[in-house]
Structure 1
Amino acid sequence: MRYFLPFLVLLSIVSSKNTCAQEGSLALPDPFTFNNGEKVKSVKDWERRRKEILEIMTREMYGVSPDRPKKMHFKVFDLDRNALGGKATRKQVTVRIIREGREARFDLLVYIPNQARRPVPAIIGLNFIGNQAIHSDPGIKLTTAWVENSRMFPCASDGRATDACRGVNASQWAVDSILARGYALVTLYREEVASDRKAHAFQTGVHTLYPALQRREDNFGTVAAWAWALSRGMDYLETDKDIDAKRVAVFGFSRLGKAALWAGATDRRFAAVLSNESGAGGGKLFRRGVGEDINRLCTMFPYWFARNLGKYKGKDTELPFDQHFVVALIAPRPVYLATAGDDKNSDPPGEFATARAADAVYRFLGTNGLPDSPFPALNQPLTGQIGFHIRPGGHDVKMFDWIQILNFSDLHLQK
């Protein structure tokens, strides 16, 4: 009976004439309505409906992902117990996957706080420029994968990382603060997993192991590949006695925040999901018709998602699904959506609307969901089982973001 009252609350926001829940004046596909029109009435029902939602989002948007590889090996090639001036133990681990004569590999960089009692909780996330970019630590291996030489990160030479790439992205990774709070930090480089270049899509990394999956309309997209690699990182963490694998949060920013949300939706081992400005295909609703849309995603980045998503170009406001379904797949585990006032592509009100639309699922499953509040003011975080904040500024990860993310993580992951 503990689920009966939340369900009555749910009924008050569901239209009796259609299968759309109302988010303000916006009609959204209802997570509590089965494909056959029946309604979810119990937690057992929800598990069946959750399976339907997972199938919908896999088929229509993210694409299929392989099972856990049968031949996967972990090699710790670096161990420094006095890293970062003695604050951390640094491990570097190669994840090696072999399938049908092909091989893919990527490296994990792991920092474990030396002052914390072990096993410690951890935060795992993908990075943009290579593991060596998140900190100036000279012991970090330079990636051998392609590295972009951009105006923001002018450090690579002919697509290769140089020593100038060390620490160039450190401002987005609050390594010292994460360690001081008692968390291990685990990161891996997107390009070692799967190419983020249109001309090289599906030709590198883990995609080379599963060519048959690219011949489908629900093909193994790059966002799904990044999420799948995060799960392989979790496979390693389950073997590391310094890490409490029951207390691992998955983090991501921008397109890698999309991957973090999908990793949390597809892998229930992640104890929490932390998404920063993930926008379209991540934390924001398409149905608002605001910010980055499906046409842009499928034109600029056609490899990110399954080809099936192309069916919906120009039809954002008519989707039979939306991103509150992804957050519902994470429920009842904690999820945090962070955004920024000037990030119009990410549509901050649309990200808040996603959190609000998923609230009913969280409450139905016995949690406090998202605090009852209108769209919050800048720098005023909302913290429940769903958390949210909007800060000033643009598309970035700032210290303010990390402070709120770590505060939220403390509530849910620290003993």
Structure 2
Amino acid sequence: MRYYILSAFVILALQTMNAQFVANYEESKVPEFDLPDPLTTFSKKQILTSSSWNELRRPELINFFESQVFGKVPGTFDGIAFEVVEESNSALGGLAKRRQIKATITKNSKTLSFLILLYLPKEVSRAPVFLGYNFHGNHTVINDPAIIISKAWSLNNESIGITNHTLTEESRGLRSGRWAISRMIEAGFGLATIYYGEIDPDKNDFTDGLHSLFYTEGQKRPAKEEWGGIGAWAWALSRAMDYVANDKEVDKSRVIVFGHSRLGKAALWAGAMDERFAGVISNDSGCGGAALSKRKFGETVAQINENFPYWFSGNFKKYNNAEEELPVDQHELLALIAPRPLYVASAKEDQWADPKGEFLSAYYATAVYSLFGEAGISSNKMPGVNSPIQNTVAYHIRTGKHDVTEYDWEQYIKWAVEQFD
């Protein structure tokens, strides 16, 4: 299918992190491009039924994204153990139960541990759960003195008191605005969250995270076809799912994986690879997430690979400044989640993440959902700001910047209740 430019607007802010790249924020400069048809295989066979999608198209798309974009996991792990290290039946003023679970992955006689923070509503016997990463430590998601502070390396963020790459008491609860935990509990949902830095520190160094467990003798970095940071974060979301799927107070059939920004990319890939996730929410995930790469609007493949060379597989770099050579685009990543519910969200001021590209990706993924009789995005005209479309494939663009807000969670919870009740 061929996509033509229909409108033009100019965003004056320049958000490139590297001076050699100049981001495009003008619709008039988006190139004309051929968008791959999700219902046509690489060998040009038409997909007409959900069974042929599952048998023919889905596996080849998974293989491409795995080998060329996010990277392959180099083997299987030896085991995982879970230990409840703290729990309370009177959290959040008595409305919730809280558990902190230490997960320990073993591979090649090496281990890596991370903490899952779990809140569950007391009045629900088997609760649906939102599962997702946080950026600055479990203790930042709510002002709860019982939450253990991670000792893992952290990106600095002086606005919430993080310096010297160290998490401290100073930042406790300072990211609570991004989580709406009380609202989740009131709606009958739980939250499971993990500090992503415990899985793989967000820096161009593959020696101190999950990857090192899987190295062969003498290996220092993943091979070109192997996983980067996003692949590792996605894989570990499935390890957290291993726990919640066996928690008798969690409804394992209603676990929704959520992510914002780079962690939205990880949530999409986790949801595509692991069909145990009942639904997926992508919040401002942008390039390499929900946004169409071929639009070359805002952040591009070259920019993301230059600024974050450790996020994707080495093979993905061959598409730097060559998005037209990609035989796939991100609408097909979204389509891999079908027929399970999918929510893509954007922010009006977050042009770096290309809201229109995120919307169009959800729109073009709808063709696959239709094979399963599921409703999606019926028009290629973007909805108005703060005017959500809430079908099996849902979308909204809200006022504001790159963030997760109370408005976002209001929509996600409402949608989840409708989809999973």
Q: Identify whether the pair has TM-score above 0.5, normalized to the shorter chain.
A: yes
CA contact (8 A) 2:130 2:256 kept: yes
Gaps of 5+ in 1: 1-20
Give distance in 2, aligned partners of 1:215 and 1:233: 23
CA contact (8 A) 1:287 1:322 kept: yes
Letter in 2 for 1:191: G
Q: Displacement of 1:373 after TM fit?
A: 6.1
Gaps of 5+ in 2: 6-32
Of 183, 192, 205, the match for 1:186: 192
The verdict on how the C-alpha distance between 1:382 and 1:23 changes in structure 2, with shifts beyond 3 A counting, is farther
Give distance in 2, aligned partners of 1:305 and 1:152: 28
Give distance in 2, aligned partners of 1:87 and 1:22: 52
TM-score normalized by structure 2? Answer: 0.90
Task: Tell me which residue corresponds to 1:62.
Answer: 70
Give yes or no for the alignment of 1:279 onto 2:286: yes
Q: Displacement of 1:148 after TM fit?
A: 2.8
Letter in 2 for 1:75: E
Give yes or no for the alignment of 1:270 onto 2:277: yes
Q: Displacement of 1:24 after TM fit?
A: 5.3
Letter in 1 for 2:202: D
Give yes or no for the alignment of 1:209 onto 2:201: no
CA contact (8 A) 2:75 2:214 kept: no
CA contact (8 A) 2:74 2:226 kept: no
Q: Displacement of 1:168 after TM fit?
A: 1.4
Letter in 2 for 1:88: A
Of 213, 232, 239, the match for 1:232: 239
Q: Displacement of 1:205 after TM fit?
A: 2.5
The verdict on how the C-alpha distance between 1:28 and 1:391 changes in structure 2, with shifts beyond 3 A counting, is same
Q: Displacement of 1:157 after TM fit?
A: 4.8
The verdict on how the C-alpha distance between 1:282 and 1:309 changes in structure 2, with shifts beyond 3 A counting, is same
Q: Displacement of 1:68 after TM fit?
A: 5.6
Give distance in 1, aligned partners of 2:382 and 2:72: 35
Superposed CA RMSD in Å reads 1.5
Give distance in 1, aligned partners of 2:78 and 2:245: 16
Give distance in 2, aligned partners of 1:322 and 1:93: 37
Give distance in 1, aligned partners of 2:400 and 2:236: 31
Task: Tell me which residue corresponds to 1:98.
Answer: 106
CA contact (8 A) 2:264 2:284 kept: yes
Of 364, 385, 389, the match for 1:382: 389
Of 71, 75, 87, the match for 2:79: 71
SS at match of 1:287: helix
Q: Displacement of 1:303 after TM fit?
A: 0.5
SS at match of 1:228: helix
Query: Structure 1, residues 51-85: CA drift from partner, whole Å, max 9, x if none?
Result: 00000111110001256633110001111000111
Give yes or no for the alignment of 1:258 onto 2:265: yes
CA contact (8 A) 1:29 1:321 kept: yes
Query: Structure 1, residues 312-370: CA drift from partner, whole Å, max 9, x if none?
Result: 11112442111011111001111000111010111111101101110111011211122
Query: Structure 1, residues 12-58: CA drift from partner, whole Å, max 9, x if none?
Result: xxxxxxxxx34556521111122222211332221121000000111
Task: Tell me which residue corresponds to 2:310.
Answer: 303
Instruction: State how many pairs are aligned.
Output: 390
Q: Displacement of 1:223 after TM fit?
A: 0.3
Task: Tell me which residue corresponds to 1:118.
Answer: 125
Task: Tell me which residue corresponds to 1:392.
Answer: 399
Task: Tell me which residue corresponds to 2:19.
Answer: none
Of 344, 350, 360, the match for 2:351: 344
Q: Displacement of 1:160 after TM fit?
A: 2.0
CA contact (8 A) 1:288 1:317 kept: no
Deviates more, 1:318-327 or 1:251-260: 318-327
SS at match of 1:314: coil
Of 198, 202, 207, the match for 1:196: 202
Q: Displacement of 1:163 after TM fit?
A: 1.0
Give distance in 1, aligned partners of 2:280 and 2:86: 28
SS at match of 1:330: coil
Alignment of 1:76-95 (within 5 A): 76-95=84-103
CA contact (8 A) 1:287 1:318 kept: no
Q: Displacement of 1:219 after TM fit?
A: 1.4
CA contact (8 A) 1:23 1:357 kept: no
Give yes or no for the alignment of 1:407 onto 2:411: no
Give distance in 1, aligned partners of 2:269 and 2:325: 22
Identity %: 38
Give distance in 2, aligned partners of 1:46 and 1:38: 11
CA contact (8 A) 1:371 1:383 kept: no
The verdict on how the C-alpha distance between 1:291 and 1:336 changes in structure 2, with shifts beyond 3 A counting, is same
Query: Structure 1, residues 202-235: CA drift from partner, whole Å, max 9, x if none?
Result: 2223112112494422111110110111100000
CA contact (8 A) 2:131 2:193 kept: yes
Task: Tell me which residue corresponds to 2:20.
Answer: none
Deviates more, 1:373-382 or 1:303-312: 373-382
Give distance in 1, aligned partners of 2:351 and 2:154: 27
SS at match of 1:81: strand
CA contact (8 A) 2:255 2:277 kept: yes
Letter in 1 for 2:413: L
The verdict on how the C-alpha distance between 1:23 and 1:88 changes in structure 2, with shifts beyond 3 A counting, is farther
Give distance in 2, aligned partners of 1:375 and 1:94: 43
Query: Structure 1, residues 117-151: CA drift from partner, whole Å, max 9, x if none?
Result: 21010000000001001011000000010123323
Task: Tell me which residue corresponds to 1:328.
Answer: 335
Letter in 2 for 1:230: L
Give yes or no for the alignment of 1:289 onto 2:296: yes
Letter in 1 for 2:164: D
The verdict on how the C-alpha distance between 1:315 and 1:157 changes in structure 2, with shifts beyond 3 A counting, is closer
SS at match of 1:406: helix
